[in-house]
Amino acid sequence: MPLGKPAQQRRLAGVLSYEDARDRARKVLPRLLFDYVDGGADDELTMRLNGERLRRLLLRPRTGVWVPRPGLKTEVLGTTLSMPVLTAPCGGMRLVHPDGDLAVTRAAARAGVVPVVPSGSGHSLEDIAASDGPKWFQLYRFSDRAGMESLVEGARAAGYEALVVTMDTGIAGNRERDFRNGFSYDLRINAGTALRLGPQMIRRPGWAFRFWRDGMPFELPNTARFGSDGRAMSLTEMARGGAESFSPTWRDVERIRETWAGGLVVKGVMTGDDARRAVDLGADAVVVSNHGGRQLDGVPATIDALPEVVAAVGGRAAVLLDSGVRRGGDVVKALALGARAVLVGRPVVWGLAIAGEAGVAHVLELLRSQIIRTMCLMGCPSVAALDPGWLWAHPRS
């Protein structure tokens, strides 16, 4: 079935890979927004490593085995996914496309995968919850603990099935591309921004028109619930941080577990010790993540951290992974090393930039077809059968 309207299909024609999607998005978005999504922290060492280390890992196929339809279904926290993929929470998506997380969530439901809806969404968690399919909610602390608790309450009332507590964002990472571009999240048009952004906007009229028609939104509706005056914080205010950690702490995880009966996921774990701690506090899953290399630069690729975490968790919780997953083969490699499923961030954002919901759906279907092809060619009947035996033993020199 074709995805989206004819104009969207035209925009997606020829997008066969992550690189195609990234190139196409680069032509749609103003430079500073493209860089906001594409970039990482400091020297972007960790961001590069995420991809390089995944790609260095080699597959070990079994030949002469006919696998017509490999099984991709995966269960995570009681929900069956049509493939072992979730969409990663990405704040600021309404700047990328007016439909933002509404589009991501709808596309995810259509694809049979779970979206992780970010705290820093341009749409309220209630509006997003109104669409079909199971959803998880990603939790930040924003201003303080009370603010965080009101988000938890909102997620509960709106029917989110799990909370994903992001732990690696005490303060924002040092994203030098953003500083160079003068990206403040706040694209409010005044004389200064008009001068600075004018030349970029003229070259991206489609994006500029959509952004203008959307009312140039910068506020995060989810933050309106805890300001004393009911005023929503802007993206800039959110990113500025304050005297308190922007991420929940272990103490918060403990408190949340006492009152939250749904699934509890700790995102941003890189070591066995932290994974064990999360599980001891009652987490049902951990996400091995370095935030796509956007936070602490100089940490290893997540695929290198994964085996230590899997061993530490010892089957007591599900282990998920994100950062650098670009192709179906990457998904297969992560699963072979013990991940139950992966989250994808930037690939989804590029799809959103190109064609809204249809673009996200396109990117997810690309991933699905790549996973299927890889599994068929490997002679592997189902994702449940993947283990380290499907990887070459000495892949990394």
Ligand X SMILES: Cc1cc2nc3c(=O)[nH]c(=O)nc-3n(C[C@H](O)[C@H](O)[C@H](O)COP(=O)(O)O)c2cc1C
How far apart, in whole angstroms, are the C-alpha atoms of residue 332 and residue 69?
15
CB of 93 to ligand X, least distance (A): 8
Cβ proximity to ligand X: between 197 and 342 the closer is 342
Shortest distance in whole angstroms from residue 84 CB to ligand X: 14
Nearer to ligand X, 60 or 180 (CB): 180
Q: Give the residue with the Cβ less far from ligand X, 37 or 107.
A: 37
Contact set for ligand X, span 305-364 (CB under 6 A): 322-325, 344-346, 349
We find the least distance from the C-beta atom of residue 183 to ligand X, in angstroms, to be 11
**Residue numbers annotated as active site:** 291
120 sits near ligand X (criterion: CB under 6 A): yes
> Do residues 17 and 23 touch, judged by C-beta distance below 8 A?
no
- C-beta of 65: minimal distance to ligand X in Å? 31
Q: Does 88 bind ligand X (CB under 6 A)?
A: yes
90 binds ligand X (CB under 6 A): yes
91 binds ligand X (CB under 6 A): yes
289 touches ligand X (CB under 6 A): yes
* 113 forms part of the interface with ligand X (CB under 6 A): no
The span of 88-96, 182-190, 217-225, 381-389 binding ligand X (CB under 6 A) equals: 88-96
Cβ closest to ligand X, residue 91 vs residue 217 = 91
Q: Which is nearer to ligand X, 74 or 290 (CB)?
A: 290
For the window 137-166, what string marks contact with ligand X as x by the rule CB under 6 A? -x---------------------------x
Q: Which residue has the tokens 């290893």?
A: 300
Closest distance between ligand X and the C-beta of residue 342, in Å?
A: 8
Q: Pattern 225-264, binding to ligand X, x per CB under 6 A?
A: ----------------------------------------
Using rule CB under 6 A, residue 292 touches ligand X? yes
- Between the CA of residue 383 and those of 53, 109, 306, 323, what are the distances in Å? 21, 21, 17, 20
Cβ atoms of residues 11 and 359 within 8 Å: yes
Q: Where does this chain bind ligand X (CB under 6 A)?
A: 37, 50, 88-92, 118, 120, 138, 166, 267, 289, 291-292, 294, 322-325, 344-346, 349
